């Protein structure tokens, strides 16, 4: 593993690059963690992709989660600051001779951010995988809006404190309006018992994208376990290899 720090408008983005043996340049999958997470949570997925011949980069979003090695705190973070971080990572690797095509993989809020960024620069992204993308976060932020139209200075969600900026940025656009701009292939995976992001959000995304497939895992919640997790990794790997 090679630790690489990339400069974004929000500070230092820490991440870990892995390259497949004997294959240069290699296609790169950028893995984006969910709310409160960090790069270590998806290293198992990265290892699976590396064994299939892909390079991977697992990043810590600035202020993105607990035990992050990147700049900032969660009070500094929003989906748009994370989008800026991801854009900086993409720009960095577009100029790395060891890397060919770029793919995005995102879980939960990382899936939301990956969907947003790919819609902004579709020509730079070969294909996208979204695990239970947290499109619900826009509605969740809207519920925190005060009667005067503003948001609380600080809110607590899922054991973390976020600032007004998080809610302001989340409600400043409708992600569904942007998704059709990405016309490349998209694979969405979601459990039908997800208590955080209801399945209907991914069902709508599937219908909104130009070229998307949705895999639903019965009985799975916000995250996959057991046979469903292994199947998800297998499905994602085949998807990346085919595109």
- Return the pLDDT at 214: 98
Q: With CA atoms as reference, report the closest residue to 189 among 169, 155, 212, 165.
A: 212
Domains of the chain with CATH codes: 2-136+175-242 (3.40.50.1820)
Instruction: Give residues with Cβ within 8 angstroms of 236, minimum separation 6.
Output: 45, 49, 105, 129, 187, 189
- Return the pLDDT at 127: 98
**How many other C-beta atoms are found inside a 10 Å radius of the C-beta of residue 34?**
28
- Residue by residue, pLDDT tens for the chain (243 residues) are 999 999 999 999 999 999 999 878 999 999 999 999 999 999 999 999 999 999 999 999 999 899 999 999 999 999 999 999 999 999 999 999 999 999 999 999 999 999 999 999 999 999 999 999 999 999 999 999 999 999 999 999 988 999 999 999 999 999 999 999 999 999 999 999 999 999 999 999 999 999 999 999 999 999 999 999 999 999 999 999 999
pTM over 0.95, yes/no: yes
Yes or no: say if 35 and 158 are a contact pair by the CB < 8 Å rule: yes
- Return the pLDDT at 146: 97
């Amino acid at each position: 593993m090679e630790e690489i720090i990339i400069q974004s408008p929000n500070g230092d983005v820490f991440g870990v690059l892995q390259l497949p043996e004997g294959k240069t340049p290699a296609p790169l999958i950028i893995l984006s963690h969910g709310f409160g997470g960090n790069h270590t949570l998806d290293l198992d997925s990265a290892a699976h992709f590396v064994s299939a011949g892909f390079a991977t980069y697992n990043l810590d979003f600035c202020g993105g989660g607990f035990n992050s090695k990147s700049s900032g705190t969660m009070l500094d973070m929003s989906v748009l600051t994370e989008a800026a971080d991801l854009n900086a990572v993409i720009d960095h690797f577009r100029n790395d001779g060891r890397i060919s095509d770029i793919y995005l993989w995102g879980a939960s809020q990382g899936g939301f951010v990956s969907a947003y960024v790919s819609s902004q620069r579709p020509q730079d992204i070969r294909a996208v995988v979204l695990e239970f993308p947290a499109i619900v976060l826009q509605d969740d932020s809207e519920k925190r809006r005060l009667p005067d139209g503003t948001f609380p200075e600080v809110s607590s969600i899922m054991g973390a404190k976020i600032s007004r900026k998080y809610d302001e940025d989340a409600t400043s656009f409708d992600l569904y309006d942007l998704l059709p701009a990405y016309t490349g292939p998209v694979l969405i995976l979601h459990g039908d018992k997800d208590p955080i992001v209801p399945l209907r959000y991914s069902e709508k995304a599937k219908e909104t994208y130009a070229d998307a497939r949705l895999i639903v895992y019965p009985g799975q919640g916000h995250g996959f376990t057991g046979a469903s997790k292994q199947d998800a990794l297998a499905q994602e790997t085949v998807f990346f290899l085919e595109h």
